[in-house]
Amino acid sequence: MSTHRPVLSVIGTGYLGATHAAGLAELGFEVIGLDRDPSRIDSLSRGIVPFHEPGLAEMLQGHVASGRLRFTTEVADVAHAQVHFVCVGTPQGADGSADLSQVIGAVEALVPLLRLDSLVVGKSTVPVGTAAALRSRIEEISAPGVTVELAWNPEFLREGHAVEDTLAPNRIVLGVPGPRAEALLREVYAEAIAAGVPVVVTDLPTAELIKQAANSFLATKISFVNAMAEVCEASGADVTALADALGHDERIGRRFLDSGLGFGGGCLPKDLRALVARAEQLGCGKSVAFLRDVDAINLRRRDRVLAMAQREVGAFDGVRIAVLGASFKPGSDDVRDSPAVDVMNRLRRAGARVTAYDPAAVLTGRAAAPGVRFAANPLVACRKADLVLHLTEWPEFRALDPEEVGQAVRRRVLIDARNALDVDAWTAAGWAVRAPGRHLAAPARAGSLV
Ligand code: UGA
């Protein structure tokens, strides 16, 4: 282990990179973040986080102010670091496979400039086999006499909990070529390791696959309960009671069994499709063919909620619909592959007049759902609505007073597409509440529906 702490670089300062860079500075390292987007670098250099993530701005500001954390758009500025974390995006390509151009571009720009023996650490989510190809490329382009090793260290942080997941992860996966890389990474993560965070040391392909497998498993768990919701709908059973009962079995566990509108975001949908695409390239497509069903079940949830809405209002044309929630999940302003945004856009295309409220995803929501009006608070969004759709389960929606909301709307009809509201309280206030996977009683107060 070196006596001086290594200087670290973080390449790509999106969600993952910005959080990782700030987290490494928090651990006491000198860190330089690199991104090709000047406006992003400008924001971060001023301590401004260009997305919603609780606690991140405070951590970033502290370390930018102390000078321990800097940002640049120039790759030459990071060349003196000994460990380089690659955190660039791997978006979904046209055929469902991961687009690796940013990962390859980052490595090709960096490695020829390195004059010290260094470690490049992939954190981006990539298909298994990517690291092996990158390793050969690194050998071709590294300067003579300089050893550049490659490791893979996938990241498991959740949006909305990024700071805690970075500082106190539930596991650390180190895909390493040998002991030198392992020792360096153990030094970087020494604090978490000393606190007892389990470390899985493995090879590069396993590390790559662990990440895609983890997200595909989580997606499968959600789609499993949503498949059960379909059976509940057909049979009169109740998916929430079913999930609660399954969850009491510790081997199953209750987390990620919340049935509703299904998963979205920048990770689960893309990673499961990329795993299918890679497995097909490897000739083992059959092994993960079920993941296509996981995807299909998930997308069907949106159709289901739209069908429920249609049943309540008849034709959508001119109908006023209030939508609570736009982000793909609470705690985030991210609307990538957001089920809520998809539903809103489809309602708009069918002629509905949609007014939405989201505590964070306003700018992002407006950009992703043109034609949807965004209100300043839930009551304004619900004004004169014929139907209220609860599409993202922000805690503040649970705190709404059903009577107060009832006075704002034209008809007290609610679809709780996330199965997260207190149905009894809403029903007691005269609301007709519908929820996917559930057969709910009629409202206690008759005559509240116009
Ligand atoms: C996911 C993983 O949970 C992280 O471990 C991983 O690091 C990250 O992807 C990534 O690859 O970067 P994230 O995309 O932040 O994290 O979101 P999740 O909390 O996993 O939620 C994903 C979606 O599933 C959301 O739309 C959420 O509403 C939905 N969901 C979640 C359900 O529909 N039901 C549930 O029971 C749980």
Distance 166 CA to ligand 1 centre (A): 16
Query: What pLDDT does residue 329 have?
Result: 96
> Are 63 and 185 found together in one domain?
yes
Last residue of a domain, one of 296, 318, 335: 296
Nearest ligand 1 atom to alpha carbon 155: 7
pTM of the model: 0.95
> Are 283 and 340 found together in one domain?
no
- Position 155 in a domain: yes
Q: Residue 146: which domain range?
A: 8-202
> Are 227 and 198 found together in one domain?
no
Mean residue pLDDT of the chain comes to 95
88 and 53 Cβ atoms separated by less than 8 Å: no
Distance 222 CA to ligand 1 centre (A): 9
- Position 449 in a domain: no
Residue from 217, 247, 242 nearest 229 by CA: 242
pLDDT one-digit tens code per residue, 367-402: 999 999 999 999 999 999 999 999 999 999 999 999
> Are 267 and 370 found together in one domain?
no
pLDDT confidence bin for 440, thresholds 50/70/90? confident
Q: What CATH number is given to the structural domain containing 245?
A: 1.10.1040.10
Structural domain count, the chain:
3
* Strand arrangement of the beta sheet that strand 387-390 belongs to: 373-374, 353-357, 320-324, 387-390, 413-416, 432-434
Query: What pLDDT does residue 439 have?
Result: 87
The answer, yes or no, to whether residue 444 has pLDDT greater than 80, is: no
Structure tokens at 395: 């805690």
- Position 441 in a domain: no
Our answer on whether the CB atom of 71 is closer than 6 Å to any ligand 1 atom is: no
Residue from 444, 374, 437, 373 nearest 406 by CA: 444
The answer, yes or no, to whether residue 447 has pLDDT greater than 50, is: no
Distance 45 CA to ligand 1 centre (A): 29
Distance 266 CA to ligand 1 centre (A): 9
Nearest ligand 1 atom to alpha carbon 161: 15
> Are 399 and 336 found together in one domain?
yes
Our answer on whether the CB atom of 256 is closer than 6 Å to any ligand 1 atom is: yes
Our answer on whether the CB atom of 240 is closer than 6 Å to any ligand 1 atom is: no
Last residue of a domain, one of 202, 235, 253: 202
Burial class (CB in 10 A: 0-12, 13-18, 19+), 303: exposed
pLDDT confidence bin for 349, thresholds 50/70/90? very high
Our answer on whether the CB atom of 448 is closer than 6 Å to any ligand 1 atom is: no
| Closest C-alpha to ligand 1, atom 36 | 256
Q: Catalytic site residues?
A: 267
Region of poorest pLDDT, from 2-16, 173-187, 207-221, 419-433:
2-16
> Are 110 and 15 found together in one domain?
yes
The answer, yes or no, to whether residue 72 has pLDDT greater than 50, is: yes
> Are 160 and 194 found together in one domain?
yes
The answer, yes or no, to whether residue 416 has pLDDT greater than 90, is: yes
- Position 13 in a domain: yes
At 141, which amino acid appears?
A: I
Helix (H), strand (E), coil (C) string for the chain = CCCCCCCEEEECCCHHHHHHHHHHHHCCCCEEEECCCHHHHHHHHCCCCCCCCCCHHHHHHHHHHHCCEEEECCHHHHCCCCEEEECCCCCECCCCCECCHHHHHHHHHHHHHCCCCEEEEECCCCCCCHHHHHHHHHHHHCCCCCCEEEEECCCCCCCCCHHHHHHCCCCEEEECCCHHHHHHHHHHCHHHHHCCCCEEEECHHHHHHHHHHHHHHHHHHHHHHHHHHHHHHHHCCCHHHHHHHHHCCCCCCCCCCCCCCCCCCCCHHHHHHHHHHHHHHCCCHHHHCHHHHHHHHHHHHHHHHHHHHHHHHCCCCCCEEEEECCCCCCCCCCCCCCHHHHHHHHHHHCCCEEEEECCCCCHHHHHHCCCCEECCCHHHHHCCCCEEEECCCCHHHHCCCHHHHHHHCCCCEEEECCCCCCHHHHHHCCCEEECCCCCCCCCCCCCCCC
- Position 444 in a domain: no
- Position 1 in a domain: no
pLDDT confidence bin for 450, thresholds 50/70/90? very low
- Position 450 in a domain: no
The answer, yes or no, to whether residue 449 has pLDDT greater than 80, is: no
| Closest C-alpha to ligand 1, atom 2 | 158
* Strand arrangement of the beta sheet that strand 118-122 belongs to: 69-72, 31-34, 8-11, 83-86, 118-122, 148-152, 172-175, 199-202
| Closest C-alpha to ligand 1, atom 16 | 158
Give me the residues paired with residue 174 across strands.
201
Residue count of the chain, please give it.
450
Nearest ligand 1 atom to alpha carbon 330: 28
- Position 442 in a domain: no
| Closest C-alpha to ligand 1, atom 35 | 256
The answer, yes or no, to whether residue 200 has pLDDT greater than 50, is: yes
Query: What pLDDT does residue 115 have?
Result: 96
Distance 321 CA to ligand 1 centre (A): 27
The answer, yes or no, to whether residue 446 has pLDDT greater than 50, is: no
Distances (CA, A) of 16 to 53, 166, 218: 11, 9, 19
Our answer on whether the CB atom of 218 is closer than 6 Å to any ligand 1 atom is: yes
> Are 323 and 215 found together in one domain?
no
Quote the CA–CA distance of 402 and 423 in Å, as a whole number. Answer: 10
Distance 75 CA to ligand 1 centre (A): 32
| Closest C-alpha to ligand 1, atom 29 | 263
Query: What pLDDT does residue 109 have?
Result: 98
The answer, yes or no, to whether residue 4 has pLDDT greater than 90, is: no
> Are 193 and 65 found together in one domain?
yes
Our answer on whether the CB atom of 267 is closer than 6 Å to any ligand 1 atom is: yes
Our answer on whether the CB atom of 125 is closer than 6 Å to any ligand 1 atom is: yes
Our answer on whether the CB atom of 156 is closer than 6 Å to any ligand 1 atom is: yes
Our answer on whether the CB atom of 329 is closer than 6 Å to any ligand 1 atom is: yes
The answer, yes or no, to whether residue 2 has pLDDT greater than 70, is: no
Query: What pLDDT does residue 94 have?
Result: 87
Quote the CA–CA distance of 177 and 345 in Å, as a whole number. Answer: 47
Distances (CA, A) of 423 to 27, 78, 211, 240, 431: 45, 54, 37, 12, 9
Query: What pLDDT does residue 389 have?
Result: 98
Burial class (CB in 10 A: 0-12, 13-18, 19+), 65: exposed
Our answer on whether the CB atom of 161 is closer than 6 Å to any ligand 1 atom is: no
Query: What pLDDT does residue 3 have?
Result: 58
Our answer on whether the CB atom of 152 is closer than 6 Å to any ligand 1 atom is: no
> Are 161 and 233 found together in one domain?
no
Mutate to test the pocket of ligand 1, among 159, 298, 338, 394 (most ligand atoms within 8 A of CB): 159
Quote the CA–CA distance of 361 and 388 in Å, as a whole number. Answer: 18
| Closest C-alpha to ligand 1, atom 1 | 158
> Are 32 and 155 found together in one domain?
yes
> Are 290 and 318 found together in one domain?
no
pLDDT one-digit tens code per residue, 287-328: 999 999 999 999 999 999 999 999 999 999 999 999 999 999
Q: What CATH number is given to the structural domain containing 139?
A: 3.40.50.720
The answer, yes or no, to whether residue 9 has pLDDT greater than 70, is: yes
Last residue of a domain, one of 144, 171, 202: 202
| Closest C-alpha to ligand 1, atom 10 | 267
Quote the CA–CA distance of 20 and 18 in Å, as a whole number. Answer: 6
